Amino acid sequence: MTTVLENKSVTDSVEVENAALVELLEGAITHADKGANALHALNSVQLESAGAGYLVARATDRYRLIEGKIEVEHGQLSPSLISLEDTKRVIALVKGNKLSRVTFNRIGDLITVSVSGSSITVQILDANYPKTFDDLLNKSEREQLGEIAFNPALFADYGKIAGKGNPVRVEFTGKGKPIIIHLPVTKVEWRALLMPMRYQD
């Protein structure tokens, strides 16, 4: 059973560009917890507009976390936790109405998402959402190797070699140096390196 917020005084409205919202939400849901016993707080996406004119989406499954932001046309949205199922409904609505602006209107524990004359209304979850995103993403004390870029399509192949559910350990040896890939030993003992990509700022 989903519990909803009792505070009916929250009234917000925000407008964003269609294609950017689809990209934001589709990226965020990849990190939401989809397990059978997932907590409401993790089987969800948190949306809020930051003070600098951005709509921010966050998701985590306790093993990964992601935060993305897109520009807001106007308005603001206080932190709103939307279930994964409802987030997918929003994506489907928005994808079906291309080239239009999308408006989120929040009144109390309900958000209505409107685009091109169509709309859906979803309930906001009342759950304790992790508040450590900024701490984890902005840790200033971590060791800096410099930026390392690699092709994710090439990296995905290591997951196929390791097999479903098996870990792939990555060792960064320094800026511009090969990335060492440690694959689990099964019938084959692997040695692998992934060369970093060159990129320009």
Q: Are residues 30 and 127 in the same domain?
A: yes
pLDDT of residue 144: 63
**Domain presence at residue 144:** no
CA dist., res. 90 & res. 123, Å (int): 12
- 94 and 122 co-located in one domain: yes
Domain encompassing residue 25: 11-137
Percentage, residues of the chain above pLDDT 90: 42
Give the integer Cα–Cα distance in Å for 128 and 201.
38
Is the pLDDT score of 5 beyond 60? no
Q: Token digits for 199? A: 């990129």
Is residue 127 domain-shared with residue 164, that is, in the same domain? no
Residues 46 and 102 in one domain: yes
Q: How much helix, strand and coil, in percent to the nearest 5, is found in the chain?
A: 20, 35, 45
How many Å apart are CA 104 and CA 81, to the nearest integer? 13
CA distance 20 to 12: 20
Q: What is the CA radius of gyration of the chain?
A: 20
Q: Is residue 17 part of a domain?
A: yes
Same domain, yes or no: 133 and 158: no
Is it the case that residue 125 has pLDDT exceeding 80? yes
If asked whether residues 114 and 178 sit together in one domain, one would say no
Looking at the domain assignment, is residue 5 inside a domain? no
Residue 96 lies in a domain: yes
| CATH code assigned at 102 | 3.10.150.10
Alpha-carbon span 96 to 83, nearest angstrom: 20
Q: How many residues are given for the chain?
A: 201
Helix (H, G, I), strand (E, B) or coil at 110: strand
Whether the pLDDT of residue 115 is over 90: the answer is yes
Residue 143 has pLDDT above 90, yes or no: no
User: Of 41-50, 64-73, 86-95, where does the model show the most confidence?
Assistant: 86-95
Query: pTM to 2 decimals?
Result: 0.79
95 and 49 assigned to the same domain: yes
Regarding whether 179 and 82 lie in a shared domain, the answer is: no
Domain assignment present for 1 = no
Q: Looking at the domain assignment, is residue 146 inside a domain?
A: no
Q: Taking residues 78-99, what's their average pLDDT? A: 92
67 and 121 together in one domain: yes
pLDDT at 145: 67
Q: How far is CA 56 from the centre of its chain?
A: 9
pLDDT of 199 strictly over 80 = no
Residues 113 and 187 in one domain: no
In a domain, 75, yes or no: yes
Same domain, 170 and 126: no
Is the pLDDT reported for residue 75 higher than 70?
yes
Is residue 90 assigned to a domain?
yes
At 70, list the tokens: 């897109």
Total domain count, the chain: 2
Ranges of beta strands (E only) in the chain are: 11-17, 44-50, 54-60, 65-76, 80-83, 101-107, 110-115, 118-123, 169-172, 179-182, 192-194
Question: Averaged over 95-104, what is the pLDDT?
Answer: 86
Report the distance separating Cα 45 and Cα 161, nearest Å.
31
